[in-house]
Amino acid sequence: MYNFARSLLFRLDPETSHGLALGALDTLHRVGGVQRVYGEPVSDPVELMGLHFSNRVGLAAGLDKNADHLDALGALGFGFVEVGTVTPKAQPGNPKPRLFRLAGHEAIINRFGFNNKGVEHLVAQVKKRHYRGVVGINIGKNLTTSVENALDDYLLCLEAVHGVADYIAVNISSPNTPGLRTLQFGEQLDALLGPIRSRSQELDSALGRKVPLLVKIAPDMSEEEVALVAGSIARNALDGVIATNTTIARDAVKSDPQSEEAGGLSGKPVFEASNRVIRLLRAQLPTLPIIGVGGIDSGEAAAAKIAAGADLVQLYSGLIYQGPGLVKACAEALKQP
């Protein structure tokens, strides 16, 4: 059924079809049809970061930036859903077109630029949710905020979402906000993560529960750079890491006429780059929880992420190409005997 729907959706502009697909999923959910179509969620419980995950398969940030579709997406059988990236103020993002399918490579290029309705809207939506799985919230900075003042935006978002999030992910690795990736390295990373960690601990004490703090990193790093990031994560006592975001590399898709579009490349071509970073992180941080994301298009690919060192996995581009059945296929492949 999904192959037929995809053939229709792929005739439309990618951003238009994205909105239509989410709207259709919302409608199906309202009439109780999601689980009738896609089956009951896979039960494979795991405890990690003090949280209970019903299975190891999650939805990556970016697909539901505003938590407008949280219940419908959760009904697909995800053990956790990450919403955002959200910024303190609403912003339109980059001019359209800003989403491109590289269908021959099962890949996507996006340059959305953190388009979202602002943190107040997202928090209100999360408060209304009926989905009982783990909900992560991915936070970033506004385009108009300088890199030098980025910490202010992250702290504003942290304080706004802390009371409704099951975990919080600090996004410093999107290639679509100028200068953002420079925050991943050296003193700048410590200067960012240190105050965020300190403030999160204060908020944890006030709330009476710990909200795990993670950081999301890019795949485009050398072994030495990954080691530097790992050192900062350890020094600042983060609770986990998400590896990885989209790549700026284009070697694997050079034959596609859209390969030179600016933005981050996701999907199948980022699979090995993501796994490489996961392996390096696992060697540096043997016990740190790692969420593996990038290029998962089958149960076998999800299992390979776990074999590389991830504890949980997230899907995004694979859903576009393979359909919602991918959630169950991955969860079954990772189910503990």
Supply the residues annotated as catalytic: 174
112 is in an annotated binding site: yes
Which amino acid, residue 161?
V
In sequence order, which residues have a C-beta less than 8 Å from that of residue 85 and are 6 or more positions away? 61, 62, 65, 114, 116, 138, 139, 140, 171, 174
Residue 243 counted as an annotated binding residue: no
- Is 295 flagged in the annotation as binding? yes
- Annotated ligand binding at 210? The verdict is no
Residue 89 CA to residue 143 CA, distance in Å, equals 10
d(CA 13, CA 69): 20
Residue 245 marked in a binding site: yes
Name the maximum alpha-carbon separation found in the chain.
Answer: 54
> Could you tell me which residues come within 8 angstroms of residue 95 by beta carbon, excluding any fewer than 6 positions away?
none
Distance between CA 197 and CA 212 in Å, rounded?
10
Give the residue ranges of DSSP H helices in the chain. 2-9, 14-30, 34-38, 70-74, 119-127, 150-161, 186-207, 223-235, 271-284, 299-308, 317-322, 325-334
C-alpha gyration radius of the chain: 18
Count of alpha carbons within 13 Å of 215, Cβ hemisphere only? 28
- 131 annotated as belonging to a binding site for a ligand: no
Residue 89 has what DSSP assignment? S
- The verdict on whether residue 149 carries a ligand-binding annotation is no
62: annotated binding-site residue? yes
- Is 55 annotated among the ligand-binding residues? no
Was 115 annotated as part of a binding site? no
Q: Would you say 94 is a known binding-site residue?
A: no
State the Cα–Cα distance between residues 212 and 235, nearest whole angstrom: 16
Known binding residue 142? Answer is no
The answer to the question of whether 79 is labelled as a binding residue is: no
Question: Residues forming the annotated binding site?
Answer: 61-65, 85, 110-114, 138, 171, 176, 216, 244-246, 267, 295, 316-317
Question: Residues forming the annotated binding site for substrate?
Answer: 65, 110-114, 171, 176, 245-246
Question: Residues forming the annotated binding site for FMN?
Answer: 61-65, 85, 138, 171, 216, 244, 267, 295, 316-317
